[in-house]
Structure 1
């Protein structure tokens, strides 16, 4: 493979060849209980603990594949004068902070990348500034360590997220600029904001977007991805030749642990998936809808019994593995809340998840997955090639409180194709 990694993701489980990460920094702590909800948090994380836990994820992935940090990629493209000017101009215009544009442009690329991510302190040298309750002229990107949402690899292209909350819009601008200008990762970007028929109702986030197979996309719709956003994706898929299926899963608006599809369903192997039973398997009011597309035309849109049955009927039979085990609904609820259904596959049958969800891991073990501690992988105490199926268990006592798991914190840019 050349030094430039080109985007190519045709499944959720293909062997990983490149992934983008963002190590959480001071932006995670730069909030108070009063504004945590605006930052999309229900609590304030302990950064020192979160950093150590994230380090496990990063070091494990570095043992397995090519990893890239958002800040490094951003710093690189900010060396290009016209990219720097354009990105800063667009950020300042959209976030209505034109008064800091010149000071941002005066910074060197590394310092500018830091301020774009961690925020710019508000200058208190005016009465308005002095009396303001705000701490920052440019708000920190509190959620950027969930790199999954702002961009998503869709086959050979990169779909730029249209975020549901304004506090995250800058993340999408950064990721689009990276893919358009980086010398390390490259992919043709598709941005809903650039469409002449763009509507305010369109929102799309990567946690709701799963590439199941070359001909099957799974998309959740709820508080983060709207039906209008899915219609945008349908419009894009209709331009491709052949048959494609989009399976849409409605999600509850509450509690907040259901914000994305990957919080209740992820793919583990060619024949196994992780499910949160009450939403995915049990009869409920949240519909599963199949949209069949053939050579540019929607052939049918129809309700299905559930997501797993729909995939089976599409020739993708999957055995469900149950988040929290099968015995106790309370345990299922507790472990789902802490991202117990949220796994990131590094290959078929080879995944990463939180160690804290012990009942889920027990269920995984009962389904043939060896449980391996992240610390053993990092210390080279185990040879991963010795195992056909495994779960690498990373610490997550603090990270999970941010509202996401291993899949949320990883943006894959390239996977090997899977032999089905």
Structure 2
């Protein structure tokens, strides 16, 4: 057990504890191999580890407690884990809803072992908060597709890696955790729209940055007693968020950032900073840049690499 309990009710509260995982010890040596594992370019594990250490250091410098779950694994599990090339994308593995942790289900078989490893570890850390899934459910739900807007609403994408069945199985637990609405959107299935956090992200307590095409998509709003449809902007507005629509963007570095606290964002060095300078609610934000370009070649960004366990 750890000495704290999980607590997350938003994406923008002060981050106190986060789970990470160091990248694997394998290289992805050439473009053909990268394409076969759905990465954009070859990756050298030494450079990836250098990126990771800079990333980890930036979080710690900001006062965030960092837990690398790979360091806690038993020797036999660790040997396998070190060969799992996607294991540093910990956001997908689980999510803290209020005071409980719900485990995810991998959307592709390549990632299933890391889910098992992480879940076993989190269950040891938080025996009273970790809610296990039924065995062998096979109902995919990767939490890169989930954004906690605030204490009332959760936003979920069903698409490439998350199924409507997975959401259906989880929704009762989310309501029981204290949330009153779940908004479900069904975005296009492509490498550029793989998860919800590759399409939108909370950038302020009252602002969501989103790709402009999302304005055309309806949201299926679920409550404990009923359901209805709203357009994306209507759903966000009703929960206190302005939508900041982006017409031009580089998906991973521009959208996949992390809120360290209400005034500070952790961003990639490849991010177009003018995105933040153009909006009045973001012009005074403190932007901390880190070099994660080697890790980003794997198809995800800073948010994908972090699993917040506690926000103030």
What is the TM-score with the length of structure 1 in the denominator? 0.68
CA pair 12-370 structure 1, distance change in 2 beyond 3 A: closer
Residues 339, 403 of structure 1: 8 Å contact kept? no
- Tell which structure's C-alpha radius of gyration is larger: 1
Residues 369, 391 of structure 1: 8 Å contact kept? no
User: Is 1:320 aligned to 2:243, yes or no?
Assistant: yes
Alignment of 1:137-156 (within 5 A): 140-156=83-99
CA pair 34-363 structure 1, distance change in 2 beyond 3 A: closer
Mapped partners of 1:265, 1:223: distance in 2: 16
Q: Which runs of 5+ in 2 are unaligned?
A: none
RMSD: 2.4
Cα shift readout 1:290-310 (whole Å, capped 9, x = no counterpart): 1122xxxx32x222121x321
User: Is 1:253 aligned to 2:189, yes or no?
Assistant: yes
User: Is 1:364 aligned to 2:260, yes or no?
Assistant: no
User: Is 1:217 aligned to 2:217, yes or no?
Assistant: no
Mapped partners of 2:293, 2:79: distance in 1: 28
Residues 273, 321 of structure 1: 8 Å contact kept? yes
- Corresponding position of 1:351: 265
Mapped partners of 1:226, 1:240: distance in 2: 21
Q: Which runs of 5+ in 1 are unaligned?
A: 79-108, 119-139, 372-387
Residues 270, 318 of structure 1: 8 Å contact kept? yes
RCO comparison, higher one (Cα < 8 Å, 6+): 2
Q: Structure 1 residue 322: deviation in Å?
A: 4.4
What is the TM-score with the length of structure 2 in the denominator? 0.90
Cα shift readout 1:320-365 (whole Å, capped 9, x = no counterpart): 3344xx5xxxx43xx11x342112111113211212122xx21202
Q: Structure 1 residue 17: deviation in Å?
A: 1.0
Q: Structure 1 residue 47: deviation in Å?
A: 2.6
- Corresponding position of 1:91: none
- Corresponding position of 1:114: 78
Residues 4, 186 of structure 1: 8 Å contact kept? no
Alignment of 1:59-138 (within 5 A): 59-64=57-62, 65-74=64-73, 78=74, 109=75, 112-118=76-82
Residue from 274, 293, 297 that aligns with 1:401:
297
Q: Structure 1 residue 221: deviation in Å?
A: 0.8
Residue from 290, 296, 299 that aligns with 2:221:
290
- Corresponding position of 2:20: 21
How many residue pairs are counted as aligned between the two chains? 311
Q: Structure 1 residue 171: deviation in Å?
A: 1.1
Cα shift readout 1:360-410 (whole Å, capped 9, x = no counterpart): x21202335789xxxxxxxxxxxxxxxx62221222332222111110010
